């Protein structure tokens, strides 16, 4: 499913190509690209749930944490998000790329992925998708984009 999400993000969202509104056309295009129908359905559902996270009535954990609060991860979250991933999330909060709300959105979306293997690079893509989708996070999105793409150009000093 991560492959489909990354494909959609790079092909439509990140490249500023107009996203096809018709879900059937989008599914057909993804099928032509070589993805399986079940995975396409799961990825599109995942994206719909990402968009729904903006509605705080359906996500009561949003807007309820104090600035000084500390995130305690559940056993399931620690299984999915290894120490490196959790440390990266903490780092992004410290440099104000993520807020408590966007961190929770990221964790929510990570836990909804159906994958047996999840690595830091996958987390970075999920963070980009969440920040792109969350209004008012344009600066944070740009910072995250620089962290993701800028690191490929060489060492950060």
Q: Are 1 and 114 in contact (CB under 8 A)?
A: yes
pLDDT at residue 75, as a whole number: 95
pLDDT means per 10 residues, the chain with 157 residues, are 85 58 80 91 88 68 62 93 96 92 94 90 93 86 82 49
Q: What is the pTM of this model?
A: 0.80
pLDDT at residue 157, as a whole number: 41
Q: Please list the alpha-helical segments (H only) found in the chain.
A: 2-8, 23-32, 37-52, 75-80, 83-94, 100-112, 120-133, 138-150
Query: For residue 119, what are the contacts with CB-CB under 8 A and spacing of at least 6?
Result: 85
Neighbours of 92 (CB within 10 A): 23
């Amino acid at each position: 499913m991560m492959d489909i999400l990354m494909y959609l993000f790079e092909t439509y969202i990140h490249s500023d190509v107009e996203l096809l509104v018709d879900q059937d056309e989008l599914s057909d295009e993804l099928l032509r690209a070589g993805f399986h129908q079940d995975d396409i359905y799961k990825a599109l559902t995942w994206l719909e749930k990402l968009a729904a996270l903006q509605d705080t009535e359906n996500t009561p954990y949003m807007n309820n944490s104090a600035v000084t609060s500390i995130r305690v991860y559940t056993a399931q979250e620690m299984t999915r998000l290894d120490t490196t991933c959790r440390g990266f999330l903490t780092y992004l909060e410290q440099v104000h790329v993520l807020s408590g709300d966007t961190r929770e959105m990221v964790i929510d979306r990570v836990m909804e992925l159906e994958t047996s293997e999840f690595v830091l690079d996958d987390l970075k893509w999920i963070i980009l998708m969440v920040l792109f989708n969350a209004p008012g996070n344009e600066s944070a999105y740009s910072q995250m984009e620089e962290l993701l793409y800028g690191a490929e150009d060489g060492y950060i000093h």
